Structure 1
Amino acid sequence: MSGTTLVFLIVVTVVIGGGILRLIDKRMKYKDGPKIEALERQLSLLEQDTIVSLKKRIQVLEKIVTDEGYELRRTISKLDQS
């Protein structure tokens, strides 16, 4: 078998294999499409809930840090450590 024939067979195998893989991928997406969409919606809702939760926690932390009593406790704590 010549080198040219070997290269031709390799190219044909890659092209046919790629086509088969694309067909399998499309079939899987068609078959599992509704499941994937439902999971994506659930993920989106979880992300939104997480963002809301984190925003609330940040607001609480901002209140604590900007509270005058917090600054006083911090200063006293520094004095105790000295």
Structure 2
Amino acid sequence: MSGTTMVVVIVCVVCGILYKMYNKHLEFKAKTFAHNDNTDDKNDELKKEIHALNERVQVLEKIVTDEGYQVQKDINNL
């Protein structure tokens, strides 16, 4: 095998390996973007749920701190 042929073979092998590595990198990026989109959807759902729970806690705090609730509690304790 001549030196020129060896160089051509080595360059072709290296290019093939780089091409496969690049394809694997693109597949990984696609999976990462898909995962991030799913995570963003879940985060939005969780934020809505937290907001709803905060509203419920505020309503419960208003009920508990209301003077009528305290009077009813005092009556029940008697």
TM-score normalised by length of structure 2: 0.58
**Counterpart check, 1:75 vs 2:74:** yes
Cα distance, 1:31–1:74 mapped onto 2, change above 3 Å? same
Shift of 1:28: 6.9
AA at the equivalent of 2:36: E
CA distance in 2, matches of 1:66, 1:76: 16
AA at the equivalent of 1:67: D
CA distance in 1, matches of 2:69, 2:28: 55
The residue number in structure 2 matching 1:62 is 61
The residue number in structure 2 matching 1:43 is 42
For residues 8-49 of structure 1, the C-alpha deviation after alignment (integer angstroms, 9 at most, x for no partner) is xxxxxxxxxxxxxxxxxx787434222201111011101210
Structure 1: 5+ residue stretches without partners? 1-25
The alignment covers a number of residue pairs equal to 54
Instruction: Indicate the percent of aligned positions where both proteins have the same amino acid.
Output: 31
Structure 2: 5+ residue stretches without partners? 1-24
CA distance in 1, matches of 2:61, 2:43: 27
* Structure with larger Rg: 2
Cα distance, 1:27–1:78 mapped onto 2, change above 3 Å? farther
